[in-house]
Structure 1
Amino acid sequence: MPGPYRKHFIPLESDPEVFTRLLHKLGISPDLRFQEIYAIDEPDQLPHPALALVFIFPAPAAYEVQKAKEDSGSSEYAGGDDQDVMWFKQTIHNACGFYALLHSVCNGPAKAYIQPGTLLGRLMDTCRSLGTEDRIRVLEDSKELETIYAEAAREGGTPVPGAEEEVDSHYICFVKSTGNSHLYELDGDRKGPVDKGFVEADDVLAEESLNVVKQYMQDAGLGHGLMALVSDSAR
């Protein structure tokens, strides 16, 4: 993915077990986990409630052109603790999986599962009131984050590409704001959060959210994947 990258990570495999292990190492309660979603046509068969969704899809050049066009009329996200959602600009190459994971746990009900004193707990305490550029520096300067991430990125079942290699897939996150009850697309490669409209239920696998995700799946074509962040009590 193109962008003003100042650091490079090994790409994270789109495996819910890899994501879950990284989640727990960063400091989220063991009560949360990622679960693969194979089909969304039967809502009763999905895990409810879902706290966040991570969407993985091929990102050809045409996608980058379309994204730039959509963002051309948008203002840059300013950061601070008065925003409807917490968003991080991606400046670490090949780390879109990590940013999707971070966005999924720093927003909505998942925030309550961040354990105090852990790396993620400290990052949240530090970044909550910061502007975009200062949040960037916090993530880039954390050696502890880099070490934990590198360990998780090497635990997948496929060959590990180099940190500076270009990969074709991209990760984004969908969360519901606890402030205004709107669904947001969170992609660190954009100018900021993208508001996708009001969602009544406290579940990002609710009907309104599923309609949004279905459109993304249709646009992405073959090769996409979907993971839900759920608690052990999800049915």
Structure 2
Amino acid sequence: MALPAQVYRKHFIPLESNPEIFTELIRKLGVSESLEFQDVYSLDEPQLLALIPRPVHALILVFPTTERYEKRIASEEAEAEDYNTSGADEDVVFFKQTIDNACGLYAILHAVSNGDARKYIEGGSSLSRLIDTCVTLKPSERALALEDSRELESSYESVASQGDTDAPDDPEDEVDFHYICFVKSHKNGHLFQLDGDRKRPIDLGPAGIGDDVLSESVVGVIRSMIESEGGENINFSLMALVNAQD
């Protein structure tokens, strides 16, 4: 069973999976220079993992959307209930994706709107105003607020054409990669997988004492996704949102 086709009224050029581009975008939106994205080069080699500053506030995974993946997600989504939570009732801030090819943007919004990362959003910034508006809205209204934000679109457009990968000539061209985000709830300390293409946030359970988002629970989910594609991880890449290093 395939995922039902989504009809979009707005289309963006997809973002390149590049921590410098992602960092530039969050700063344009109003996140303090105290935060930045960094590549995570390995989930298994202690020496490479030790290079990642802790705590990790969020993780963004980019991966190929194969036919096998789409069938698995369609099956899971058929059993899921639609998300209709907002405000103080939310364990995490969740944005339903309604802008085509903008999954990188939604992953960024999930990363900076949740957990301790949200403390680094500068007051009065476009992002601060947008989140203050969105958290009180139901998911469908929240989605429209993102679509209608000219400041968000302008900041996105200013960085989307950067990078080493040629952007599609037509924003409506389909791409074969997808971004999702992992965060830690400010409310209950649970770890969540956030994907704007899914019906709702996925609760991965409580983080261990002292665990940040780069925890074994999240790493296990990522490993499982890689294994489900035959164990080949060449087309998977991971970025961590961390405190900027001098």
Q: TM-score range by the shorter chain?
A: over 0.9
Q: Which residue of 1 aligns with 2:114?
A: 107
Secondary structure class of the residue paired with 2:240 = strand
Structure 2: unaligned runs, 5 residues or longer: none
Alpha-carbon shift at residue 232 of structure 1 (Å): 2.1
Secondary structure class of the residue paired with 1:136 = helix
Following the alignment from structure 2 to structure 1, what is the Cα–Cα distance between the partners of residues 145 and 22?
21
Say whether residues 1:50 and 2:56 are aligned partners.
Answer: yes
Following the alignment from structure 2 to structure 1, what is the Cα–Cα distance between the partners of residues 60 and 73?
18
Following the alignment from structure 1 to structure 2, what is the Cα–Cα distance between the partners of residues 80 and 109?
19
**Percent of aligned positions that are identical:** 48
Q: Which residue of 2 aligns with 1:25?
A: 28
Secondary structure class of the residue paired with 1:135 = helix
Mean Cα displacement is larger for which, 79-88 or 202-211? 202-211
Q: Which residue of 2 aligns with 1:196?
A: 204
Given residue 186 of structure 1, which amino acid in structure 2 is its aligned partner? L
Say whether residues 1:131 and 2:138 are aligned partners.
Answer: yes
How many residues were matched structurally? 234
CA deviations 1:193-216 (Å, max 9, x no partner) are 011122123411123332222222
Alpha-carbon shift at residue 142 of structure 1 (Å): 1.1
Alpha-carbon shift at residue 179 of structure 1 (Å): 1.4
Following the alignment from structure 1 to structure 2, what is the Cα–Cα distance between the partners of residues 45 and 210?
16
Decide which of 180, 200, 214 is 1:205's aligned counterpart. Answer: 214
Decide which of 128, 148, 152 is 2:155's aligned counterpart. Answer: 148
Alpha-carbon shift at residue 144 of structure 1 (Å): 1.6
Alpha-carbon shift at residue 137 of structure 1 (Å): 1.0
Alpha-carbon shift at residue 233 of structure 1 (Å): 5.7
Structure 1: unaligned runs, 5 residues or longer: none
Mean Cα displacement is larger for which, 190-199 or 16-25? 190-199
Given residue 44 of structure 1, which amino acid in structure 2 is its aligned partner? A
Say whether residues 1:231 and 2:226 are aligned partners.
Answer: no
TM-score (norm 1): 0.94
Superposition RMSD in Å: 1.6
TM-score (norm 2): 0.90
Following the alignment from structure 2 to structure 1, what is the Cα–Cα distance between the partners of residues 172 and 150?
18
CA deviations 1:146-189 (Å, max 9, x no partner) are 11101110121221112111110000000011212111110000
Secondary structure class of the residue paired with 1:53 = strand
Decide which of 10, 14, 17 is 1:11's aligned counterpart. Answer: 14
Following the alignment from structure 1 to structure 2, what is the Cα–Cα distance between the partners of residues 136 and 209?
26
Say whether residues 1:66 and 2:75 are aligned partners.
Answer: no
Secondary structure class of the residue paired with 1:14 = coil
Following the alignment from structure 1 to structure 2, what is the Cα–Cα distance between the partners of residues 146 and 91?
13
